[in-house]
Amino acid sequence: MNIMTKFGETHNFTGWDFVARLEEVFGREVDGIVYNSSRPDEKILAQYLNQKAEFVEINPEDACWGKRRIYSDDMLETSGGIVRHDSRSWPL
């Protein structure tokens, strides 16, 4: 799952929106979701907010996920002020 939304592409998407869109494209329910559980610091979030981008949060306990498995861990990399998944955290 994306860590941040992007204005003009995924603006106002929730975590569920990302999953629903993938399932629509795949034509089936996904088995699992890889989710970053660590929130960027407020300074970085403010920079992204200026670009109309927001942090994507989910509640892994929400019933909407059904049988989908949530693989959640701190996978956040913010060097250079850019939010991305940390490749060193793989595999979970």
Distances (CA, A) of 14 to 25, 53, 85, 87, 89: 17, 12, 18, 23, 23
| Strand, coil or helix: 38 | coil
- In DSSP terms, which residues pair with 76 in a beta bridge? 85
Phi, psi values for residue 9, rounded to 5° = -120, -55
Q: What is the pLDDT of residues 52-71, one digit of tens each?
A: 999 999 999 999 999 999 99
This prediction has a pTM of: 0.86
Q: What is the pLDDT of residues 11-67, one digit of tens each?
A: 999 999 999 999 999 999 999 999 999 999 999 999 999 999 999 999 999 999 999
Instruction: At 91, list the tokens.
Output: 């595999």
CA dist 90 and 76 (Å) reads 11
